[in-house]
A and B are shown apart, each in its own frame.
Chain A
C-alpha cells in the first residue's frame, strides 16, 4: 500500500483558506478518502473554522455543522441521535483542535465518551491555540515557545488519548498526518465499530511551530522517529504500537530528540545553556512515556 493507492476522489477541495503546508487540511483530505465522503462533520472554533473560507463558499463536499468552541462532542451526540431516530446510517465525525479537545471541550468530550455515543471524535493536535495566534494549550509540550509562554512552557502536556481511553471506550488511537496510510486505516477501523471512537492526530503546524511549510511531513516523521510522538491503538483496553512506532520502546532504535526539536523555531531557545533544564525535562518525559508503554506491553498490553 502506498499513498497513491488511496481513492482519487477528493472531498476537501482546493481553494480553501489554510496556510500552505497546513496539517489540518491534509488530515481532512485523508479523512474524506478514508470514509468515502459519506459522513457529517462537526467542527468547533479553531483553524478549521477559518480554513473553510467565508460564506457562501465551502471547500467541503461533506456537510459540516460548525459549532461553538466547547460544544462539538455534545452537538455530535445530538446530530447522531437525529440520524438514528430518522433511521439514517450516517457516521458523525468531530474534527476538533487540541484546545477544543483537551481544554475547553474536555467536559463535553468526557460526557459523550461516558455515554458511549456512537461518534468518531478526531482531535488534530497542532499543540497550541493556532487560530487565535499561537497561545499555549494543555497539549503544548514542555519547553515549547508560544505567545503566552514566551520563554517556553513550564508544564507537561495532558495525555488526552489516555484520558479518553480511561472511559473504556471501544477504540482510541493516535496517528500523524505524516503517516497517512496509518491514519486512514485507523479511521476505517474506528468507523467499523459502534460506540465512542477517538483518534488523536499529530498535526505539525508550520505557522505555529516555526518551520518551513514544505517540511510538515518531515517534522511529523521526526516526531515519531525520535519517539516524541507515539503511534498506537487502544482497542477494548489493549494497547498496541502501530506503524513506524512499533519496536521503538527500545531507546537504541529511536533517533535523538534533537533531530525533531532542531527542525522547529519554537524549540530554538532550548539549546541555550540557561534552558538546558527544559530540554532535560522533555527528554525525561519522553523516556518515561516509553518506559510506561514498554511496561504495559510486557504485561500483555492491558491498559484498562
Chain B
C-alpha cells in the first residue's frame, strides 16, 4: 500500500475519492475549508466523477445531500462549528429520514466569543439527531473511518447518516504519513450503491416525509433507535472486515490502551487520546496501573462495552472537551449512565478541558487521573475544570 503524508483534511478528501462519492454539496468554514477545496480540485481534474454543488449555505448543503441521497447518490458534505449549527434543522431531517449521508465535522468551538479552535460542542449539539457519531484520533484513522462510515451507513440493517469527527487544526491540519488503501481494496470493501427502499422512483412512486399522526410517529422513532442498536454491531463487523483487508483494526466502538490490568481508566474522545496515552505511560512508570478508554463512537453510545471494561477498574476519569452549561459534562453523564446498571462500578470523576482550543498536555491528563484517585479516597468534587486560569475552579 502506498504511504503518503497527508493532513487530516486531505485524508477526508482522499476517503471521499476512494469511496467514489458522486454528489458533494458543501459550504466553506474554517477549519473545514481545505476539504472542500481538495474535493473541488478532484472533481475539476476529473479524478472524482461527482457533481459538486456549490451551495449558498450549510442548511442548503445538507438539504442537497438529503435530495441526493433520496435520489440514490452516494453523497458527502463537511462543516464545522457555526456551519453545523446553521445546518441543524437538516441534520435532524437526514437522521429522521434514515439517509446514509456521510459528513465530516472538523470540530471547532462555538461563538461567542469567536473561536476557530477545537472543542467538541459543535458535534455534541447534534448528538440526538439520529446520526452515528464517530471520532478519529489520527490522520490514518480519519482516512479509514471515511470509507468505513459509508459501509456502515449503507448497511441495510443500519441506514443511518454518519458524522466523522476530527479535531479542528489538531487533526485537520496535522500531517502524518498514512497508508492509502488502493482503489481495488476499497471497491471490494465498498461496492457501488444498490437500489434501496428509500430511493425516489417515478416507476414506484412514494411520498416521503408526509405527516405521521400520533398513531404512527412513535414507531418511526423506535425504528431509529433499533437501527442505532444494530449499528453498534455493524460497526464491529465492519471494523473486523477492514482489518482482514488492510491489517488495521481500531477495535470498533472503543479503543483500549493498557486496560487489561488497569485499576484506573481515563476516558477520552478524539485526537488528544495520544496525549492521554503518554500520560498513562508516565503513570505506569510511577506504579499507577492506568489505561485509556477511547470512545471511537458516541452514537450509538457503547454502554455495554464500556461497562464491561470498567468493571475491573476502581476509578475512571472522564475528560470532556465540551460543556453542557448547567450539567456540566455530557460525556461524564453518559459514561456514568453506562456504568450505573453494572453490579460492580468504579468511582467516576469528570473534567471539563480544552474548550476553545485551550492546550491540554499529558501532564494535565496525569493530574486528572491522580485527582480522580484522590477524590475517590477523600470524596472531593466530582467535576473539575482543567487548566482554568486563576486556579482549578471547582463546581
Contact of A82 among B71, B205, B208 (CB under 8 A): B71
Residues of A within 8 A of B156 (CB): none
Q: Does A71 contact B (CB under 8 A)?
A: yes
Q: Which of A40, A49, A63, A90 counts the most chain B CB atoms within 10 A?
A: A63
Residues of A within 8 A of B75 (CB): 78, 82
Chain A nearest Cβ from B125, distance in angstroms: 17
Closest to A76 in B: B67
- A61-B93 contact, Cβ under 8 Å, with A68-B63, A75-B66, A108-B63: no
| Category for how many chain A residues contact B | 35 or more
Using an 8 Å CB-CB cutoff, how does the interface string of B250-269 with A read, 1 for contact, 0 for none? 00000000000000000000
Residues of B within 8 A of A114 (CB): 56
In B49-64, the 8 Å CB interface with A consists of: 49-51, 53-57, 59-61, 63-64
Do B209 and A81 touch across chains, with their CB atoms under 8 A apart? no
Contact of A49 among B49, B57, B210 (CB under 8 A): B210
Do B65 and A78 touch across chains, with their CB atoms under 8 A apart? yes
- A68-B90 contact, Cβ under 8 Å, with A39-B202, A86-B73, A107-B56: yes
Cα distance, A108 to B62, chains bound together (Å): 12
Cα distance, A71 to B90, chains bound together (Å): 8
Residues of B within 8 A of A85 (CB): 22-23, 49-51, 73
Which of A52-60, A142-150, A232-240 contacts its partner?
Answer: A52-60
Do A108 and B59 touch across chains, with their CB atoms under 8 A apart? yes
In B66-81, the 8 Å CB interface with A consists of: 66-73, 75
Do B69 and A82 touch across chains, with their CB atoms under 8 A apart? yes
Cα distance, A39 to B72, chains bound together (Å): 15
Which of B164-172, B211-219, B235-243, B293-301 contacts its partner?
Answer: B211-219
Residues of A within 8 A of B64 (CB): 74-75, 77-78, 81
Q: Does A38 contact B (CB under 8 A)?
A: yes
Contact of A66 among B50, B55, B202, B210 (CB under 8 A): B210
Cα distance, A108 to B201, chains bound together (Å): 24
Cα distance, A40 to B204, chains bound together (Å): 11
Do A65 and B200 touch across chains, with their CB atoms under 8 A apart? yes
Cα distance, A65 to B94, chains bound together (Å): 12
Residues of B within 8 A of A108 (CB): 56-57, 59-60, 63
Q: Does B89 contact A (CB under 8 A)?
A: yes
Chain A nearest Cβ from B226, distance in angstroms: 18
In A32-71, the 8 Å CB interface with B consists of: 38-40, 42, 49-50, 52-56, 58, 60-68, 70-71
Closest to B77 in A: A78
- A82-B67 contact, Cβ under 8 Å, with A40-B202, A63-B205: yes
Do B59 and A74 touch across chains, with their CB atoms under 8 A apart? yes
Do B51 and A68 touch across chains, with their CB atoms under 8 A apart? no
Chain A nearest Cβ from B213, distance in angstroms: 5
Do A70 and B59 touch across chains, with their CB atoms under 8 A apart? yes
Q: Does A135 contact B (CB under 8 A)?
A: no
Cα distance, A50 to B212, chains bound together (Å): 10
Q: Does B25 contact A (CB under 8 A)?
A: yes
Do A52 and B67 touch across chains, with their CB atoms under 8 A apart? no
Residues of A within 8 A of B210 (CB): 49, 52-55, 58, 64, 66
Q: Does B45 contact A (CB under 8 A)?
A: no
Contact of B23 among A40, A49, A81 (CB under 8 A): A81
Chain B nearest Cβ from A174, distance in angstroms: 25
- A75-B200 contact, Cβ under 8 Å, with A54-B213, A85-B22: no
Closest to A110 in B: B56
Do A78 and B207 touch across chains, with their CB atoms under 8 A apart? no
Closest to B54 in A: A115
Q: Which of B66, B75, B200 counts the most chain A CB atoms within 10 A?
A: B200
Q: Does A83 contact B (CB under 8 A)?
A: yes
Do A111 and B211 touch across chains, with their CB atoms under 8 A apart? no
Do B60 and A74 touch across chains, with their CB atoms under 8 A apart? yes
Q: Which of B23, B59, B64, B213 counts the most chain A CB atoms within 10 A?
A: B64
Do B53 and A64 touch across chains, with their CB atoms under 8 A apart? no
Do B206 and A82 touch across chains, with their CB atoms under 8 A apart? no
Chain A nearest Cβ from B219, distance in angstroms: 10
Do B208 and A66 touch across chains, with their CB atoms under 8 A apart? yes
- A71-B59 contact, Cβ under 8 Å, with A49-B211, A54-B216, A115-B53: yes
- A79-B71 contact, Cβ under 8 Å, with A40-B200, A54-B212: yes
Closest to A17 in B: B211
Cα distance, A53 to B216, chains bound together (Å): 13
Residues of B within 8 A of A288 (CB): none
Residues of B within 8 A of A53 (CB): 210-211
Do A74 and B208 touch across chains, with their CB atoms under 8 A apart? no
Chain A nearest Cβ from B26, distance in angstroms: 12
Q: Which of B59, B71, B90, B210 counts the most chain A CB atoms within 10 A?
A: B71
Closest to A66 in B: B209
Residues of B within 8 A of A76 (CB): 67
Using an 8 Å CB-CB cutoff, how does the interface string of B91-105 with A read, 1 for contact, 0 for none? 001000000000000
Q: Does A280 contact B (CB under 8 A)?
A: no
Cα distance, A65 to B90, chains bound together (Å): 14
Residues of B within 8 A of A90 (CB): 202
Q: Does A259 contact B (CB under 8 A)?
A: no
In B266-322, the 8 Å CB interface with A consists of: none
- A74-B63 contact, Cβ under 8 Å, with A54-B211, A65-B70: yes
Cα distance, A43 to B200, chains bound together (Å): 13
Do A50 and B211 touch across chains, with their CB atoms under 8 A apart? yes
Residues of A within 8 A of B71 (CB): 40, 78-83, 86
Do A67 and B211 touch across chains, with their CB atoms under 8 A apart? no
Contact of B207 among A52, A72, A79 (CB under 8 A): A52
Residues of A within 8 A of B213 (CB): 54-55
- A75-B56 contact, Cβ under 8 Å, with A52-B207, A62-B202, A85-B22: no
Do A78 and B63 touch across chains, with their CB atoms under 8 A apart? yes
Residues of B within 8 A of A72 (CB): 63
Cα distance, A290 to B295, chains bound together (Å): 66
Cα distance, A53 to B213, chains bound together (Å): 10
Please list 6 pairs of residues, one from A and one from B, whose beta carbons are closer than 8 Å in the complex, sorted by A's number.
Answer: A54-B210, A63-B207, A75-B67, A78-B67, A78-B75, A90-B202
What is the interface of chain A, defined by CB distance below 8 A to chain B?
Answer: 38-40, 42, 49-50, 52-56, 58, 60-68, 70-86, 90, 107-108, 110-111, 114-115
Question: Top 4 nearest A-B pairs by Cβ distance?
Answer: A82-B71, A78-B67, A111-B56, A66-B209
